[in-house]
Amino acid sequence: MHSALTQFLDSCIEREIFPSASLAFGDSTTCHFLSRGRYTYAQKSQPVDADSVYDLASLTKVIATTSLTRIAEQRNLLDLERPVRDYWPEFVNKDEITVRHLLTHSSGLTAHRLYQKVAKSPEEAWEMVGRERLIYEPDTKSLYSCVGFLSLFRVLNNAFAQPFDHAARRFIFEPLGMHSTGHNAVTWPGRRCVPTEIDPETHSPWVGVVHDENSRFFGGVSGNAGLFGTARDLAKFAQALISETLPFDLDSRWKTPFADWTTRAFGWDTKSPEGSMAGSRFGPKSFGHSGFTGTSMWFDPDAGIWAVILTNWVYPKRGNPNIEGIRAKIHDLIFAALR
């Protein structure tokens, strides 16, 4: 059933696009796992499997941050149309920016900033996040913004009146039985963490420590990145989402573009007309997200199928061959295998 998919993954490993891939895919009732490669390119390195722990990178934005935003809304802890400053007073000089603006990447905030290079401490860096100025008029375009999701993280901490990682574990991971999903995997006993980029200063790869520089500076817990997990755990989340059995409800706002000038939904992204990483066979109503380390999760609600792709594309260094086309091909092969 998976021969073409296996061959393609093996060819990617041989071309050193990534040393490993751990996939999960299926529908509302069935689930398939396929893992290829090793933790590194070394022949003595351990083979990966469905329980290997990957740095999920920006999948954090949808699995944890977006989900917690919806949970907070359902529990009347958060109003998406209220100003961010109502929940985080340090978010200054931007009174017109609402929680929805952060969630849809339409706030006017810049895409990215390396705070650890300009701040002396995490506390000073958070002050800088709160003082960020807008670079475009809100609600006129979507600019994918890690800064926006760092801000959303502070909103959620205050809305739940408990740390972000505690809320994610309590309201998402524990109800779904996702026992190998969380933050700061380096502290997990018996960890089987897949390495990411080799640190040019220590000459050792990051293992169980988040690859994203800002999240690492903030102690490994933030709204833009920081989450670790396995294909087996993400399959539980994906299968619950496609079968509408998550411990919270995701209505159409979270799965369809919020305006006609963007592909962005609430937190999630949707399939662009051309060149989508979802490939050519996932339908036009598909939605999903990706992570910089080489991860992604996509859903086709019309076909009733889902796919999780976990790789350590950034090992041994970022800038390997383009992974967007690789993801698209994998999705096409998954669709063919399921249909």
H or E element in which residue 227 lies: strand 227-229
108 lies in the same domain as 176: no
Confidence of residue 326 (pLDDT cuts 50, 70, 90): very high
List, for residues 207-223, the tens digit of each pLDDT value: 999 999 999 999 999 99
Q: How far is CA 136 from CA 59, 104, 126, 140, 267, in A?
A: 26, 14, 21, 8, 20
147 lies in the same domain as 289: no
154 lies in the same domain as 168: no
**Domain of 128: which CATH number?**
1.20.58
Q: Is the pTM of this model over 0.95?
A: yes
Q: Which residues pair with 36 in a beta bridge?
A: 21
186 lies in the same domain as 319: yes
56 lies in the same domain as 99: no
Cβ–Cβ < 8 Å for 61, 289: yes
Q: Where are the alpha helices (DSSP H) in the chain?
A: 3-14, 59-60, 67-74, 99-103, 122-131, 146-160, 164-168, 174-176, 213-217, 231-242, 324-338
90 lies in the same domain as 199: no
Last residue of a domain, one of 105, 134, 160: 160
Last residue of a domain, one of 137, 160, 183: 160
Q: What is the mean pLDDT of residues 10-27?
A: 97
155 lies in the same domain as 275: no
List, for residues 38-62, the tens digit of each pLDDT value: 999 999 999 999 999 999 999 999 9
Cβ–Cβ < 8 Å for 94, 147: no
227 lies in the same domain as 315: yes
Last residue of a domain, one of 128, 160, 192: 160
Domain of 210, in residue numbers: 3-60+164-338
Number of domains in the chain: 2
